[in-house]
Amino acid sequence: RGRVERLQLKNNAFGMIGAAALFAEPRPVVINPAWPRLTNLLLRGTPIGPDGYPQLCGAITAKHMPQLQTLHLENTGMGDIGARLVFSALGCLPTLSLLNLSLNPFGEEGLAPLQHKPMARTHLVVAGLKELHMLAMPGMNKKAWQFLGRTAVLITQAAVLPSQPLC
């Protein structure tokens, strides 16, 4: 795992068990990242579902993927729980420039970590994020899209300011 730069696992059926095998770590404290050179993670069409996201996001927040630049999670059955976990973990990916969440059935509840709370360090700040793909999102209603639009402005404004990692 230590030499892998691109991991393309699209359209597999390994689900939560596969996610746990790939991303769960037996120890909570990371001495050496499990995926230190990984820059591209492609899970498109792999139904890890909401139960697989704790392992993936746990690996992200434990800094197992410090060089990750692109994260493709489209059509993975994310749901609101998975979306909350992903948005909460994004602050731990300082080099992330592309995030694709298309074709996932999450809505307004999944966007909860994006809510800006004054004096809190819980809002999303990914200074290098240049592309956020969210196409064909069946769970997103008008209110959710409006909220995401307002949040994108806050993210853009925060990206020009010096920020500290949220991890």
Q: What is the pTM of this model?
A: 0.84
The pLDDT of residue 126 is: 61
β-partners of residue 131 are 98
Instruction: Report residues of the chain scoring pLDDT below 50.
Output: 119-123, 156-164
| Orientation of helix 15-23 relative to helix 49-61, angle to 10° | 10
143 CB burial (10 A radius; 0-12, 13-18, 19+): exposed
Q: How far apart are CA 87 and CA 166, in angstroms?
A: 12
